Amino acid sequence: MIFLRYESFRSYLRLYPVTAAVIALNIIYFIIVAWSGDTNNVNHSYKFGAFVANSADDPYGIVQPWRYVSSIFMHAGFEHLLYNMFALLIFAPPLERLLKSARYALFYLLCGIAGNGMSTLVNVIDGGPYSHIGVGASGAIYGVYGAYLYISLFRKTQLDESSRKTVYTILIFGVIYSLLVPRIDLWAHVGGALAGFLLYNLFDRKMARKQQHRT
């Protein structure tokens, strides 16, 4: 089972520097936002960088595009933060080792951006008036799950059976949970997972070509 963590704190920082940095940034920024107000307040979240889109004048949230990134490091409440950071702590390290840190950092950001993009795209396609505001690392985290889904389906030798079952269980539970809980953005999860699946496919092909050149 690759998702069991045995490393010491020092080893974790050394082996998974990007994951450790992302967790630290999320926690630090949450403290900053919470110190100055209510992390569940829409206006307060907007002030600190939540992702925003509305059908009236900015349907794709591109007037302030930096919010596609800043919102990935924000959370609505301590439970939201705790749940996402636990997921990162446990599930992200093996993927960082597979992709290497620099590539994994790019992967993580792109999946988070894709989650926000999918969420607003669905609102646009729906056609009705809307105002959307979102925060959270879930899109990026589901990108990690999407990568593991690709590995489970097409690179089975990289994951043991228990790990593959864990991936399937998380994704099934995640869909059910996203449908049942009103404030959860299902499409951000879908967008992140889809991006993770496709990006890992792209990186996997690139890594395979490099390996062939070496041999």
Q: Which domains does the chain have, with CATH numbers?
A: 9-214 (1.20.1540.10)
CA–CA distance, 177 with 162 (Å, rounded to integer): 22
Query: Is the confidence at residue 214, as pLDDT, over 70?
Result: no
Confidence of residue 53 (pLDDT cuts 50, 70, 90): very high
Mapped onto helix, strand or coil, the DSSP state of residue 134 is strand
Q: Is the CB of residue 165 less than 8 Å from the CB of residue 212?
A: no
Q: What is the pLDDT of residues 161-193, one digit of tens each?
A: 999 999 999 999 988 888 887 778 889 999 999
Beta carbons within 10 angstroms of residue 171's beta carbon = 18
Question: Crossing angle, helix 161-180 and helix 138-154, to 10 degrees?
Answer: 140
User: Is 138 marked active-site?
Assistant: yes
User: What are residue 54's DSSP bridge partners?
Assistant: 58, 131
- Confidence class of residue 28 from pLDDT cuts 50, 70 and 90? very high
Catalytic residue check, 213:
no
- pLDDT single digits (tens) 127-138: 878 888 999 999
Q: Which of these is catalytic: 138, 152, 163, 178?
A: 138
Q: What is the predicted pLDDT for the residue at 215? A: 60
pLDDT at 208: 76
Catalytic residue among 75, 80, 132, 189: 189
For residues 197-215, give the mean pLDDT.
82
Judged by phi (left if over 0) then psi (alpha if -120 to 50, else beta), residue 130 lies in beta
C-alpha distances out from residue 155 to 148, 151, 172, Å:
9, 5, 20
